[in-house]
Amino acid sequence: MPQEVTKLIHKYLRRDKKFPHVWCPGCGNGVVLGSLIRAIDRLGLTKDEVVLASGIGCSGRMPVYVDFNTLHTTHGRVLTFATGIKLAKPSMTVITVMGDGDATAIGGNHFIHAARRNLNLTAIIINNQIYGMTGGQFSPTTPYGSKAATAPYGHIEHAFSIAELAVTAGAAFVGRGTVFHVQLLDRLIEAAVMKRGFSVVEVVSNCHIQFGRRNEMGNPVTMMEWMRDHAVTVGRAGEMSPEELDGKFTIGILIDEEKPVYTEEYDRIRERAGGSDPAGDL
Amino acid sequence: MTRKKKRATATEKTGARASNQDKSSGNGPGVGKKRFRQIVFKDWCKKCGICRAFCPKNVIGQDESGGPVFERPEDCIGCRFCELHCPDFAITVQEIHTDPAGDLP
């Protein structure tokens, strides 16, 4: 652990103009941003080697605050922009930040196909189980029975798991963490950025303003306590019975496998087709 | 910005002074115990209360505006929970490095 964590974080921020940030008091997005910065610092990447791109939503503000190459794109389409960046500049480390609605509702199609295609990208998906910025409408990950602005009597749809969707869609690396288990989150993001292939980190986060207040968890502390009490590590989950696991969620690395990466395959195709300079940037 | 810079230099100075004091003031019951200095950037703090709620040693209290105050800094064990979980990057915990010779009886 570096001696002065905050000093390290301040090194990567556009701190002269944009702080304090726009997120609500206690919002998990700030914790994720800190984790991401520590992971990048530990990997020894310079600010110029990293691209941080985002879609729309609270998480979309994240690139505004860091001094990397940054891009704030349209709703749900960040993976398409990131695909373009990666194909044009394969040497760049491309990281995308999305929310649960951004990644799996508006951008759901892009998400599954980016995972299937296995581009060497990292997708950090902050799952706060609601559309926070637009006023608390339910999202694809809002749990059954919980309340939202558009489900005042309880949600009648069932949520799906982002991480398991990513595993099924073919991502090379999938991890799930929470903003409570910060040290695990640091390691997951570090592993995801390092991984060659499409890597997904689902971060269970807190929106105590839009989700918590409607579901008897009206402050960041109760939401973090909920994460502490309901998260089970992958190792421990293997030893538990289905009854014990009811209502819990697993954290840790869900899948980590080697697969051919799209950019390398594409270079090979170009070589076979007789194109010039297969390895270089366009 | 200027306020923050001033604060940073001030802590550097107090850091230097702290190590001098250790030599002169002798050793109490906490010999060999690591000590920590906590800094709150009040300009960035949004008073969410995460640091106060989860501090394992209940070191953090509240000032009149609701912001965090390290009431018993000597009890801080340096776990950095507050620093790592602060969404606003408003807390720094630094270890106070004492002169090893100063710890000798």
Tens of pLDDT along chain A (282 residues) come to 444 667 788 889 987 777 899 999 999 999 999 999 999 999 999 999 999 999 999 999 999 999 999 999 999 999 999 999 999 999 999 999 999 999 999 999 999 999 999 999 999 999 999 999 999 999 999 999 999 999 999 999 999 999 999 999 999 999 999 999 999 999 999 999 999 999 999 999 999 999 999 999 999 999 999 999 999 999 999 999 999 889 899 999 999 999 999 988 988 998 899 866 655 555
Q: Is residue B41 part of a domain?
A: yes
Q: By mean pLDDT, which of A68-77, A116-125, B20-29, B44-53 is the weakest?
A: B20-29
> Is A192 within 8 Å of A173 (Cβ atoms)?
yes
Q: Are A233 and A225 in contact (CB under 8 A)?
A: no
Residue A26 contacts B, CB cutoff 8 Å: yes
DSSP state of A219: S
Specify the pLDDT at position A149.
95
Taking CB atoms and an 8 Å cutoff, what residues of chain B touch A182? 84-85
Look at chain B and report how many structural domains it folds into. Answer: 1
How high is the ipTM of this complex?
0.87
* Nearest C-alpha in A relative to B94: A4
Range of A85's domain?
A: 5-272
Which of chain B's residues have a Cβ under 8 Å away from the Cβ of A1? Answer: 80
Does residue B24 sit within a domain?
no
For residue A9, the cross-strand partners are none
User: Is residue A205 domain-resident?
Assistant: yes
Is B77 contained in some domain? Answer: yes
Q: Specify the pLDDT at position A275.
A: 66
CATH of the domain at B72: 3.30.70.20
Distances (CA, A) of A38 to A47, A89, A188, A230, A233: 13, 24, 11, 26, 22
- CA of A215 to nearest chain B CA: how many angstroms apart? 19
Domain that holds residue B60: 34-96
Q: What is the pLDDT of residue A17?
A: 75
In a domain, B16, yes or no: no
pLDDT confidence bin for B17, thresholds 50/70/90: very low
Residue of B nearest to A35 (CA): B84
The more confident residue out of B6 and A164 is A164
- Is B62 within a domain? yes
Q: Find which of B38, B88, B91 to mutate to test the A interface (most A CBs within 10 Å of its CB).
A: B88
Facing A5 at nearest CB: one of B44, B49, B83: B83
Strands A50-54 and A69-72: parallel
Q: Would residue A179 count as lying in a domain?
A: yes
CB contact under 8 A, A20 and B50: no
B89–A34 CB contact, under 8 Å: yes
Q: Which pLDDT does position B76 carry in this prediction?
A: 93
pTM over 0.80: yes
**Residue A92, token pair as written in the block:** 């760049």
Q: According to the model, what pLDDT value does residue A10 have?
A: 82
B19 vs A239, higher pLDDT? A239
8 Å CB contact of A13 and B89: yes
Give the CA distances from residue A21 to residues A13, A41, A66, B31, B45, in Å, rounded to whole numbers and listed in that order. Answer: 11, 21, 11, 41, 10
Please list every residue in chain B whose beta carbon sits closer than 8 Å to the beta carbon of residue A4: 92, 94
A to B CB pairs, distance under 8 Å: 75
Residue B29 has pLDDT above 80, yes or no: no
CATH number at residue A183: 3.40.50.970
Q: Is A173 on the interface with B (CB under 8 A)?
A: no
Percentage of residues of chain B with pLDDT beyond 70: 62
- β-strand partners of A231: A249
Number of domains in chain A: 1
Instruction: Tell me if A282 is assigned to some domain.
Output: no
What is the C-alpha separation between B57 and B76, in angstroms, rounded?
7
Cβ separation of A27 and B87 shorter than 8 Å? yes
Asked if residue A278 is part of any domain, the answer here is no
Q: Is residue A104 part of a domain?
A: yes
Q: How far is B29 from chain A (nearest CA, A)?
A: 25
